[in-house]
Amino acid sequence: MRLASAAAAVVMMLLVACAGDGERAGESVASPTSHVHQHHDDRSLGEPDRPVAGPQGAIPQFLVECEYSHAAEDDPIVYPGEVGASHLHVFFGNTTTDADTTIESLAEGDTTCDQRLDKAAYWAPALLRDGEMITPVKSTAYYRPGIDVDPTIVQPFPEGLVMIAGSAGATEEQPVSIVAWTCGLGIERAAAPPECAPDRVLRLLVTFPDCWDGEHLDSDTHKAHVAYSSKGVCPGSHPVPVPQMQFSVEYPVSGNVDGLELASGGLLTGHADFMNGWDADKLASEVELCLHREVVCGVTSGRKTG
């Protein structure tokens, strides 16, 4: 956990830069006997000030593209060790992810990601049409500073960090700054899937928090240890700025959206999960070379520009 220790050590140094008066949005822990809603009603702290207009552009960033790996009714964050306890998820990145996955086991797995030193596990609810799963094309994780956050102070994720963004129990529209649907690489953001032109397939975008409390790698809600920055600063309760990951899942869907639903229920329940399996040195290098230098690390070729 050397990155966790290092990040904790800089908490005091970052308090001035990231101090704020953030208050917890009401967090609740559902009954452990409820498999349907155990993490669905828990909210992380705040939300982004606005939706990010597009995944690419001039914002300092680096990205990882990961092909689809497999599907399973497992969730090693919410239901560790409980095979088949979750709704159906589609998994990207680490090929070994299942109900028994741990941070330690990720290092032993392979990955579908184009960055071979990223063995993180990424997953989202399966998209269904008339009850049948639609196999996704790929996922893309865009790593950037939070909105208006100084890129030079962003710290790498600590080793062992896990996070959930979005709500699988949502019964109304979620903020499109956190969960949104779009067509291709367009700038439109919608709370429900739009009808896409034939040359612009459907994508689900989930934006993760970008502030860490500097101490906990997880929490009872799997959200309370992280938060969203506002006006370029982190709340005092979560003073360590980390990359804001926007996770995109691409589906071979265009045109008619009739019959579509997420396995977690309806189309408003978008969410995604992340277990950090990055090689620590490689992640630190990406943060330094791309974010700290304030350059865009090639969004399609992997080459650095700027």
Q: Three-class SS of residue 3?
A: helix
How far is it between the farthest Cα atoms of the chain? 53
Kindly report the pTM of this predicted structure.
0.83
Half-sphere exposure for 108 (CA within 13 Å, toward CB) = 7
Q: Kindly give the pairing relationship between strand 132-133 and strand 127-129.
A: antiparallel
Give the residue-averaged pLDDT of 67-76. Answer: 98
pLDDT grade for 91, boundaries at 50, 70 and 90? very high
Q: Which of 5, 147, 86 is closest to 273 using CA atoms?
A: 86
Tens of pLDDT, residue by residue over 216-272, are: 999 999 999 999 999 999 999 999 999 999 999 999 999 999 999 999 998 999 999
Sorted by sequence, the CB contacts under 8 Å of residue 83 that are 6+ apart come out as 73, 74, 98, 99, 100
Give the residue-averaged pLDDT of 172-191. Answer: 93
What pLDDT is stored for residue 57 in this prediction?
A: 63
Tens of pLDDT, residue by residue over 131-148, are: 999 999 999 999 999 999
| Alpha helices in the chain, H assignment, sequence order | 2-9, 11-18, 103-106, 280-286
pLDDT grade for 52, boundaries at 50, 70 and 90? confident
- Rounded to an integer, what distance in angstroms lies between the CA atom of residue 240 and that of residue 227? 10
Amino acid letter, 11: V
